[in-house]
Structure 1
Amino acid sequence: MSRLARIRAEAAGAMRTFLRRRTAVFFTFFFPVVLIVIFAGLVRTQGGGGAGLFSEPTGYYLPAYLATVVLFTPLSRVGSEVARHREDNRFEKLSTTPLTRAEWLAAHALVNVALIVAASLLLVVALLLTGASFEFSPWLAFFVPVSSVLFCGVGAILGSLAEGQDGAIAASNGIALPLLFLSETFVQPALFPEWFRPLLDVSPLVYFSRGVRAATFPEAIEAAGSSGVVATNAAVTLGLAVVAFTVGAALIPWTE
C-alpha cells in the first residue's frame, strides 16, 4: 500500500467516525452560525470606526468568525483524538503497521481541513445574509486550510502531553479561548493597553486574522497600502504550520 493510500484510508475512517458523532457535527457547523446570528444579526455592529466593541462594520469581523472553526475545531478534535488513542493503546497497534505518525497526523489534518473549509463556507453565507460587506479573496483558500493544519499540529502536541482525554480537552479550551480574543479578532488592538500590544504577535492566530482582514476588508487593505501585508502574514502562517505539524507528529507516542 502506498503512502497516499494509507493516508486516504486513515482519513476515510476518521471522517466516518466524525459523522457518527452528532454533537461534534453540531458544534463544528452550527455553533459558529449561532454566534453570527447573535453578534452580527441581533447585536449588530455600529460601523462608526470607534474604539468600542463591535464598533466596526460587520465585514471587519470575518476573521473572528472564521477563527471559531479554524482554531477550536482542530485543537479539540485532534487533541482529544491523540489522547484517546494513547489511552486505548491504539498507537501501539498502529506502530505495527506501515502507517507512520506523520501519515496519521496528515490524514486527520486532511479531515479537519475539509470540515473547516465546509464550515467556513457556511459562515460566509450566514454573514452575507446579515448584510455584511467584504471582498472575496483567493487568499482565503490559503489562510483557512494552512491555519487549520497549524492548529492540528498544536492539537497533536496538546494531546501528546496532556494527562488523558479530559486533560487534552481542557488544555485545548484553555488555550483557544484566550487566543480567540487576544488575536485581533473580535477585539481591536486599540482597546488593549499600549504595553500589551506587542505581545499580540506571540499568538499564532493573529497572523491569520491580520492576513484575512487585509485580504477581505476594503478599509484594511487601504490602510495597509499594499498586498505585502497579506503575503507577509501568509508566509508566517505557513512557517508556523510546518513547525507545528513537524513537532506534533514527532511527539505522537507511536510506542509506549
Structure 2
Amino acid sequence: MNTLTLGASRVGYEVKTYFRQGDSVFFTFLFPVVMLSIFSVAFSESSFGPPGDEISAAAFYLPGMLAAGILLSGLQNLGVDIAMEKSDGTLKRFAGTPLPVVSYFIGKMGQVLVTGLMQAALLILVASVLFGVELPADPEKWLTFAWVFLLGVTTSAVLGIAVSGLPRSGKSATAVIIPIALVLQFISGVYLQFSMLPEWLQQVASVFPLKWMAQGMRSVFLPEAFEVLEQGESWNLAGVAIVCGIWLVVGLVLTRLTFRWIRKDS
C-alpha cells in the first residue's frame, strides 16, 4: 500500500512538472492539435472517402491524430524525460532514497494517462466545435475508444520507459527518440491514408503498435464504408488488441532487463 500511495502522490508531481516544460507541452501535448488544425484548414475544400460517403479533412485526420497523441505522450515524452533524468543525476539521487522503482513508474505512467486523456478531450473538442466533426452516437463505439485508448496509453508508456535507455546522454535523447516517433507516424496511417502506402511498407508498419492504434481509432470515428480501405478490408479489432498486447509484454520485459537507477557505464 505504501508503494501505491507513493506512486499516486507522484502522479500529481509529474503532471505539474510536465506542464511547466514548454517544449514538452508543445511537441507532445499540443502538436497533434496543431497538426489536426493545419490539415483541416489546408484541405478544407477537399473530401475523403468512397463516393457517397465522403467526409471532411478534420473527420478523416482526427483518428490518426488521437493515435499519434497517445504515442507522443507515452513513447516520446517518457523516453526523452527519463533519459534526461538519467543524465542530470535525478535517478541517481532517487537511488539514495526509499522511493521504490514501482512508485516511480506509477507516477510516470499516471502522468501519461492524465495528459493523454486531456489531449484526447482537447482534440475531440477542437474537431467537433471548430471543424464540425460529427461524433459517434453509438455507446459501443465509445467503449471501443476506451479500451483502445487505455491499451495504447499503457503500451506507449511502457515502451517509452524501455527506449529511454537508448540515448547515451540527455542531450542526445531528442535526436534519438523523436525520429523514431516521427517515422512511425508517417508509415502508420496518421498523415497518409494507409492504403496509399506500398504493400511492403504496410507490412512493416503492421509490426508496430501505432498502425493498430490508428486503425482502432478509425473504427470508432470513421463511417463503416471506410472499413474496406483497411488492410484486409476489416477493422480487425482483435488484431489491435493482440499486437498492442504483444508490444506491452515486450516493453515490460525490456524495461525489466534494462532499467537502472544508475547507468552501468556511469
Residues 1:95 and 2:100 are matched in the alignment: no
Deviation at 1:71?
A: 1.4
CA distance in 2, matches of 1:173, 1:222: 30
Q: Structure 1 residues 245, 149: closer, same or farther in 2, change over 3 A?
A: farther
CA distance in 2, matches of 1:226, 1:106: 38
Q: For 1:198-217, what aligned pairs fall within 5 Å after superposition?
A: 198-217=203-222
Q: 1:235 aligns with which of 229, 242, 246?
A: 242
The answer on whether the counterparts of 1:63 and 1:213 sit within 8 Å (CA) in structure 2 is: yes
Deviation at 1:81?
A: 2.0
The aligned counterpart of 1:247 is 254
CA distance in 2, matches of 1:93, 1:111: 21
Unaligned runs of 5+ in 1: none
Q: Please give the per-residue CA displacement for 1:103-138, whole angstroms capped at 9, x wherever unaligned.
A: 322320110111011111110111113122342522
CA distance in 1, matches of 2:189, 2:67: 11
CA distance in 2, matches of 1:33, 1:88: 31
CA distance in 1, matches of 2:174, 2:41: 30
Letter in 2 for 1:74: G
Deviates further, 173-182 or 3-12: 3-12
Equivalent position SS for 2:200: coil
Q: With the length of structure 1 as denominator, give the TM-score of the two structures.
A: 0.85
The answer on whether the counterparts of 2:190 and 2:214 sit within 8 Å (CA) in structure 1 is: yes
The answer on whether the counterparts of 1:75 and 1:154 sit within 8 Å (CA) in structure 2 is: yes
CA distance in 1, matches of 2:160, 2:5: 24
The answer on whether the counterparts of 2:79 and 2:160 sit within 8 Å (CA) in structure 1 is: yes
Count of residues paired in the alignment: 252
The aligned counterpart of 1:187 is 192
Q: For 1:54-133, what aligned pairs fall within 5 Å after superposition?
A: 57-58=56-57, 59-128=59-128, 129-133=130-134
CA distance in 1, matches of 2:254, 2:91: 17
Q: 1:141 aligns with which of 122, 141, 146?
A: 146
Equivalent position SS for 1:13: helix
Q: Please give the per-residue CA displacement for 1:53-99, whole angstroms capped at 9, x wherever unaligned.
A: xx864333222111332112323321222212212333233234343
CA distance in 2, matches of 1:197, 1:76: 22
Q: 1:155 aligns with which of 155, 160, 163?
A: 160
Q: Please give the per-residue CA displacement for 1:4-61, whole angstroms capped at 9, x wherever unaligned.
A: 11211222221221232234334444332222221113322412538xxxx8643332
The answer on whether the counterparts of 1:159 and 1:165 sit within 8 Å (CA) in structure 2 is: no
CA distance in 1, matches of 2:43, 2:233: 32
CA distance in 1, matches of 2:199, 2:9: 50
The aligned counterpart of 2:201 is 196
